[in-house]
Amino acid sequence: MMSVVGAQPFIKPMQPSPSVSPGIQRRHTLPASEVRPLNTQDAISVFEIEREAFISVSGECPLHLDEVRHFLTLCPEYSMGWFEEGRLVAFIIGSLWDQDRLTTEALTLHKPRGSTLHLHVLAVHRTFRQQGKGPILMWRYLQYLRCLPNVRRAVLMCEDFLVPFYRKSGFKVLGRCAITVANLTFTEMFYPISGHAYMRRNSEAIRFPEHPLTLPLTKTDEHVDV
């Protein structure tokens, strides 16, 4: 694939806003920067970013358009998109898996009872690269996974040159991946998920995607380096 925890819960359900004038409402309908779960309406934007990011480097996309729609239909709660003024600039798509290591089936299946999150793809729009958005989104995604009591670890497969990038996010090498795509081989990496007890104790822990959630980005986030 291509390419610290605060005291407050990672993401909270949005509370109903008090009655305000229509003019004020309009100013707040398009946040300057937000993170939210993806849905099937985002699929084309997702695929356009992914295709540009991967085809030029490896000649292969982790997910084709029908597969993007497939996962955003089956398990949108394991996706995350970063939007700037309504425009998708970076995203992650994942699904659940129920084995210790990835197999070819993991590329297309979602196992609802699995405890392993298979991170299929992380990609950033070319205009917004080299701004730290990839690491920031990955950090937020991993913290979100801590809210989910059924997820115990995250796994991914990547080309060797990306191993240092994912190491910086806390992933560790499992070994060579059994999956090959065309002439490409991959390293399999994992990230242990912890902190479930804390998140469960917090009554405002995220319930995703039943509630329309947004996550405004802070100035601190925007100063994180690539």
Q: Residue 53: inside a domain, yes or no?
A: yes
Q: Residue 69: inside a domain, yes or no?
A: yes
114-145: string of b/e by CB count within 10 Å (b at 16+)?
A: bebbbbbbbbbbeebbeebbbbbbbbbbbbbb
Q: Residue 82: inside a domain, yes or no?
A: yes
Q: Residue 46: inside a domain, yes or no?
A: yes
The interaxial angle of helices 43-55 and 65-74, nearest 10 deg, is 130
Closest CA to 223 of 135, 145, 114, 156: 135
Q: Which residue has the higher pLDDT, 2 or 111?
A: 111
Range of the domain at 39: 33-155
pTM for the predicted model, two decimal places = 0.75
Instruction: Considering the candidates 122, 148, 215, 217, report the single residue annotated as catalytic.
Output: 122
Q: Is 88 a catalytic residue?
A: no
Q: Is 120 a catalytic residue?
A: yes
- Looking at 15-19, 102-106, 130-134, which range is the least confident one? 15-19
- What's the residue count for the chain? 226
Q: Residue 181: inside a domain, yes or no?
A: no
Instruction: Considering the candidates 120, 137, 141, 144, report the single residue annotated as catalytic.
Output: 120
pLDDT in tens, 92-122: 999 999 999 999 999 999 999 999 999 999 9
Instruction: Considering the candidates 166, 191, 213, 215, report the single residue annotated as catalytic.
Output: 166
Q: Is 95 a catalytic residue?
A: yes
Instruction: Considering the candidates 95, 96, 119, 148, report the single residue annotated as catalytic.
Output: 95
pLDDT in tens, 19-76: 444 444 444 455 688 999 999 999 999 999 999 988 766 677 899 999 999 999 999 9
Closest CA to 10 of 219, 191, 198: 198
Q: Residue 171: inside a domain, yes or no?
A: no
Helices (H), the chain: 22-27, 43-55, 65-74, 133-145, 163-168, 196-201
Q: Residue 178: inside a domain, yes or no?
A: no
Contact of 82 with 89, CB cutoff 8 Å? yes
Q: Residue 43: inside a domain, yes or no?
A: yes
Q: Is 166 a catalytic residue?
A: yes
Q: Is 122 a catalytic residue?
A: yes
CATH number of residue 151's parent domain: 3.40.630.30
Instruction: Considering the candidates 109, 115, 196, 198, report the single residue annotated as catalytic.
Output: 109
Our count of domains for the chain comes to 1
Count other Cβ atoms within 10 Å, centred on residue 214.
Answer: 13
